[in-house]
Amino acid sequence: MIDLSVNKTVLEKNITKAREKGVIIPTFSQMKDPEGQISDDIKGRLRNTGLWDLDPLNLFRVTWKNEPVERGGLFGGPNFIEIPPALSGVKARIVCLAGKYFPTGCHKVGASFGCLVPRLVTGQFDASSQKAVWPSTGNFCRGGAFNSKLLAVDAIAILPEGMSRERFDWLKTVAAEIIATAGTESNVKEIFDKVREIRQTRKDAMIFNQFEEMGNYLWHYQVTGNAIADAFESIRSRSPGESNFAGVCFTSGSAGTMAAGDLLKQRYPCSKIAVGEALQCSTILDNGYGSHRIEGIGDKHIPWVHNVKNTDMAIAIDDNDSMALLRLFNEDAGKEFLIHEAGLDADQVKNLALMGISGISNLLCCIKFAKYYELGSGDVVATVLTDSVDMYRSRLEELREERGAYRTLDAAADFAASLLGESADNLTELTYTARKRVHNLKYYTWVEQQGRAVEELDDQWYRQEKSFLGVQKQAGEIDALINDFNARTGLQ
């Protein structure tokens, strides 16, 4: 559960600071329904604000429902695209929510909001004297640094040195401090080690560890879950025949996004939740080790916030397919091939730039899921595009240098092998026993290494009303704290 006990003295200081800096904090209900819930005054002021501006007003853009423009946008329905069957090779409708239209170009700004704001509005975090530490494989610390800046908090970003240049370049402009740990996205243990060192040596730091913060879970349960349901309902209302919500597939980093599946399964009880990982070192599928190139997704541990008991399937994606499709979707020869040979229209091809590497992997998970469950044209599978190709331009350059210019022949081969050739291999449906086996892996990371109580681990399995189900209900209480905070700054 998220600790919501209030420290009145620190809370008073946080309110004073927010008043001085002009910070108004949005509620969960505003992030879920910005068009209906955000005041006309705020909307009017957003008309003059850029999507990435370091302006506290942009806290109101921590939502899937931003108008997809760089400046001055307001709100509409969730931003999503549907993947044409000509591309996916399956009849099922694959719906992808687009993270590009969040400030920072990635939805992780929401996960970091979910972690920081409850501590700020309870006074557990002191915005005047403490620094917020954001351990991450990249985007979470970008989101955390961004939110920190908007909330007038100093940020320390921790990320592996091997992450893309784009991430480091932008972070330098926002975070007070950047710490690069050894390795790449596979080296989560190195990040945990750094966190432990900071916890022991820096008294001014509060760690926001996305892998264990239930605020991450709650944000996705409430905001991403509802946005996917809205996308599905808008498709259903426009479709002549039956529409069935078949499930969600998400590759997992912190497993925060997976929480959306918990809401969707409650709303559509026959739907399923699949977790994706990299074939090169899949943890759930085969306790693998090594490294992979799907930036943002982790491995070799099970995040604390992953509701494994509610996860129906694990799917491993070969990172060679994701990298091949990154080129197919973004190189000129690839785009021309998709229009002239695969029959996509220009807009459909343009939309493919909304996919970062993990987004492509999510699409591949959906294809495998659809093939395994033999889904038809009335079935909808949903996923998210966490970030877009904008974060990986340097990777495209590297691939060009490494493999040469991309040709029509490469496009044909990649389309056949990495898309149409996807099959229902490298996946497993998780039985009760298999889920329990995966859940038990949390013991090593979280109880043995990170010092959590074994009773908490057991709560996640045997007494979910004290863990995931309990957290799901905390949004109302947090919203009341946020409303009270805003009222006391006098800014609203």
What's the token pair of residue 373?
């469950």
Q: Which residues partner with 277 through β-bridges?
A: 316
Q: State the burial class of residue 1 (Cβ atoms within 10 Å of its Cβ: 0-12, 13-18, 19+).
A: middle
- Minimum CB separation of residue 262 from ligand PLP in Å reads 13
| From 14, 148, 243, 257, residue interacting with ligand PLP (rule: CB under 6 A) | 257
330 near ligand PLP, judged by CB under 6 A: no
Residue closer to ligand PLP, measured from CB, 18 or 284: 284
Q: Which residues partner with 75 through β-bridges?
A: 66
358 near ligand PLP, judged by CB under 6 A: yes
How many C-beta atoms surround the C-beta of residue 366 within 10 A?
32
Site for ligand PLP in 294-313 (CB under 6 A): 295-297
Using the contact rule CB under 6 A, the part of the chain among 166-174, 251-259, 396-404, 443-451 near ligand PLP is 251-259
- Minimum CB separation of residue 356 from ligand PLP in Å reads 5
319-336 in b/e form (b: 16+ CB < 10 A) is bebbbbbbbbbbbebbbe
Report angle CA 122, 486, 6 to the nearest 5 degrees.
15
247 near ligand PLP, judged by CB under 6 A: no
- Minimum CB separation of residue 333 from ligand PLP in Å reads 25
Q: For residues 144, 146, 147 and 150, what is the CA-based torsion angle, rounded to 10 degrees?
A: 150
135 near ligand PLP, judged by CB under 6 A: no
- Minimum CB separation of residue 458 from ligand PLP in Å reads 24
Q: State the burial class of residue 487 (Cβ atoms within 10 Å of its Cβ: 0-12, 13-18, 19+).
A: exposed
β-pair type (427-429, 313-317): antiparallel
- Minimum CB separation of residue 387 from ligand PLP in Å reads 5
256 near ligand PLP, judged by CB under 6 A: yes
Residues touching ligand PLP, count (CB under 6 A): 19
- Minimum CB separation of residue 248 from ligand PLP in Å reads 12
Q: How far apart are CA 449 and CA 430, in angstroms?
A: 26
252 near ligand PLP, judged by CB under 6 A: yes
Residues 6+ apart with CB under 8 A from 214: 1, 2, 305, 471
160 near ligand PLP, judged by CB under 6 A: no
Which runs of E-coded beta strand occur in 149-198? 154-160, 177-181
254 near ligand PLP, judged by CB under 6 A: yes
Site for ligand PLP in 362-391 (CB under 6 A): 386-387
Residue closer to ligand PLP, measured from CB, 256 or 261: 256
Using the contact rule CB under 6 A, the part of the chain among 133-141, 154-162, 175-183, 468-476 near ligand PLP is 133-141
147 near ligand PLP, judged by CB under 6 A: no
Residue nearest to ligand PLP (CB): 296
Using the contact rule CB under 6 A, the part of the chain among 34-42, 88-96, 132-140, 152-160 near ligand PLP is 132-140
- Minimum CB separation of residue 235 from ligand PLP in Å reads 23
Using the contact rule CB under 6 A, the part of the chain among 48-56, 186-194, 254-262, 372-380 near ligand PLP is 254-262
Which runs of E-coded beta strand occur in 351-424? 379-385
Residue closer to ligand PLP, measured from CB, 32 or 107: 107
103 near ligand PLP, judged by CB under 6 A: no
Structural contact between residues 150 and 59, judged by C-beta atoms closer than 8 angstroms: yes
- Minimum CB separation of residue 147 from ligand PLP in Å reads 14
Q: How far apart are CA 84 and CA 377, in angstroms?
A: 11
The alpha helices in 33-163, defined as continuous H runs, are: 34-37, 40-46, 85-88, 108-122, 139-150
108 near ligand PLP, judged by CB under 6 A: yes
Q: State the burial class of residue 173 (Cβ atoms within 10 Å of its Cβ: 0-12, 13-18, 19+).
A: exposed
- Minimum CB separation of residue 389 from ligand PLP in Å reads 11
Residue closer to ligand PLP, measured from CB, 243 or 386: 386
Residue 92's Cβ-side half-sphere holds a number of Cα atoms within 13 Å equal to 26
What's the token pair of residue 420?
């149409």
What's the token pair of residue 332?
């000129």
How many C-beta atoms surround the C-beta of residue 188 within 10 A?
23
Q: State the burial class of residue 298 (Cβ atoms within 10 Å of its Cβ: 0-12, 13-18, 19+).
A: buried
138 near ligand PLP, judged by CB under 6 A: yes
78 near ligand PLP, judged by CB under 6 A: no
| From 139, 226, 280, 472, residue interacting with ligand PLP (rule: CB under 6 A) | 139
Residue closer to ligand PLP, measured from CB, 46 or 98: 98
Helix (H, G, I), strand (E, B) or coil at 154: strand
Footprint of ligand PLP (CB under 6 A): 108, 137-140, 251-257, 295-297, 356, 358, 386-387
